[in-house]
Chain A
């Protein structure tokens, strides 16, 4: 029977999954909600005669599974967000009367690594460094205050001034449900607020309290495993340039580049360490898909494991851009699909080499000067250049006006540039940003702002400890 994949997502990731399916010779089916009718993730498959089903929500598991059955799909790709890290959904997909392949890790792995505190516990047991803080979720104000006091003291003893802690939703992610606190008096009100927010958004009001590490870089390790225990990495990424809500804006692979800038520590050793720690944890849990291990690296070269993302990430393509498997650039979504269908990798770590630097820019309709306020409206002109070193991933059509749906983040496109070294990638990045035009109007009739100027301003800061 020919495999048929239900693409249970929207926007650019849905398009990339469809592209990967086509490259693998697999059939696919798209879904969409009414606000997304104009999106290319609906228009393009329709134009190719692929089935597209209107569903009530991307978060409605019953709708997605009903469509999967109706369209005779054999697998579901959850993309990122929505159901991608929901172990209950993954379990349901594989255990129902009409089981399907879930293109992602085993549900047990998602369950064990999907919760930050579980990861912290596992890492702690394996001697992998983690950020000092709570190991279990906190539900009690008194306990939260006591832990906060302990962490403030811990920082003062180490001369970390002024001491600060983070109060986070244990089930949160993507920068949501995190607040910084620098006074003990503020712990209780912030704890209450985060708890209420976590309950509302994630259905779990557990809260994590940990030291707020400020002077750091956010690094990621890209891994790929399969059911046969094969495990490889595709290097590191640096995702330090983020909005004030801790959402990524520019990502670079590799994670550090000593040929581009100097570091107050041995950068190659740190990268090697975080890769080796990530592989250790992945091997321990039998990781069997693509996944990202997120790290904080401080100015003194200390690395702390932050969390594991058991899904394909927005920024996976920059890792692919700098990787070569036996000389050829991989497509990590293709690899993810292949391993989900039970294939062997067909290569080993020694077959993977790295070449150049890749930078990803997230083009977003937002007012960066007003706290990165997301904007909605209509895009009337969208133009980007065409170069062999550039890839633009977008669901926004260039041939007709596009209304940005208000139900989702106003992400418009990903611009992915590659250069033989970081200097060249940076120059090309500027060229891409200079030549890209996004024009439109907000609901109030004002010109639609994007973050392009912000990206230009931040580009010289990549990879550097400033």
Chain B
């Protein structure tokens, strides 16, 4: 394992001390920022439901080509630092509009911990990544943390500069404990794609997850 118990304790302590992340909400595209639907201090909710089918709270209206579009929160938390001067103005794509101070959930803390303790396969290039169809099928059947990959097995397909390059597992057989990207997601170079562990390490990881679940309210 990449970390010992002491370091894990330190990590959990740091989450307890500062269980927040700041999400900067940017305009997804160009358009006129017609109206803010929140004010500083408002509590907003991110998408919810099993398939995230319930949309997040409305934040502002962006109008482009005479189509007004409500931009919604992608994370729950408290609204902070609204860029009020953008109201009524034409904005470029990716312009910062406001911030959401988000309290980390149990699931997010587990994900952060897993990034620290698992053997991480990182993105070799900034590219779009797709889970290999065979691996996707196996994970769907058995679930995350139950599929073992052997050296030479295809993990993902990297779509980069109009070419598709397979990402192949190297090293000893390992369990695919966590997939950190969604289908077709653009992942920056060096960001984690997969979290793997040896078969014998799995009980330790599961124990750790159980500990977080116990200590951290849902």
Residues of A within 8 A of B (CB): 33-34, 53-56, 60, 62-63, 65-67, 70, 97, 176, 373-374, 376, 406-410, 443-444
Contacts and interface: CB of A to CB of B under 8 A. Distances in A.
Given A53-B30, A66-B29, A406-B161, 13 more contacts: A54-B92, A56-B30, A56-B93, A60-B29, A63-B29, A63-B30, A70-B90, A97-B66, A406-B126, A406-B127, A408-B161, A409-B161, A443-B189
B134 to A, nearest CB: 15
B64 A376 contact: no
Point out which of B65, B66, B161 has the most chain A C-beta atoms below 10 A from its C-beta.
B161
B94 interface: yes
B20 interface: no
A82 B34 CA distance: 30
A63 B64 contact: yes
Interface string B28-63: 111100000000000000000000000000000000
10 contacts: A33-B93, A53-B92, A56-B30, A62-B64, A66-B64, A97-B66, A374-B160, A376-B161, A406-B126, A443-B125
Contacts of A67: 30
B160 A62 contact: no
B92 A55 contact: yes
Nearest to A55: B93
A36 to B, nearest CB: 12
B87 to A, nearest CB: 16
Point out which of A34, A65, A443 has the most chain B C-beta atoms below 10 A from its C-beta.
A443
Nearest to A65: B65
Point out which of B31, B64, B127, B189 has the most chain A C-beta atoms below 10 A from its C-beta.
B64
A56 B65 contact: no
Given A376-B161, A406-B160, A409-B161, A62 B29 contact: yes
A443 B124 contact: yes
A176 B92 CA distance: 32
Interface in B46-99: 64-67, 90, 92-95
A34 B28 CA distance: 12
Contact of B161 (A62, A63, A374): A374
B207 interface: no
Nearest to B123: A443
- Chain B interface main SS type: loop
A189 to B, nearest CB: 15
Contacts, number: 63
Contacts of A60: 29
A381 to B, nearest CB: 22
B205 to A, nearest CB: 29
A65 B93 CA distance: 13
Contacts of B28: 56
Contact of B162 (A176, A443, A444): A176
A65 B160 CA distance: 28
A329 to B, nearest CB: 33
B163 interface: yes
A266 B8 CA distance: 79
B131 to A, nearest CB: 15
A376 B125 contact: yes
**Which 6 residue pairs are nearest across A and B when measured between Cβ atoms?**
A374-B161, A54-B92, A56-B93, A56-B29, A406-B126, A66-B64
A70 B29 CA distance: 14
B34 to A, nearest CB: 13
A373 B125 CA distance: 13
Contacts of A66: 29-31, 64-65, 90
Point out which of B65, B90, B124, B189 has the most chain A C-beta atoms below 10 A from its C-beta.
B65
Contact of B163 (A33, A55, A70, A373): A373
A67 B95 CA distance: 14
A66 B65 CA distance: 6
Interface string B125-168: 11100000000000000000000000000000000111100000
Contacts of B161: 374, 376, 406-410
Contacts of B29: 55-56, 60, 62-63, 66
Contacts of B90: 66, 70
A413 to B, nearest CB: 17
Contacts of A97: 66
A56 B29 CA distance: 5
Contacts of A55: 29-30, 92-93
Nearest to A410: B161
Nearest to B127: A406
B187 to A, nearest CB: 11
Contact of A409 (B95, B126, B127, B162): B162
Nearest to B188: A406
A34 B92 contact: no
A60 B64 CA distance: 12
Nearest to B190: A443
A254 B30 CA distance: 44
A214 B90 CA distance: 54
Contacts of B125: 376, 406, 443
A60 B65 CA distance: 12
A32 to B, nearest CB: 10
A444 B123 CA distance: 11
Contacts of B31: 66
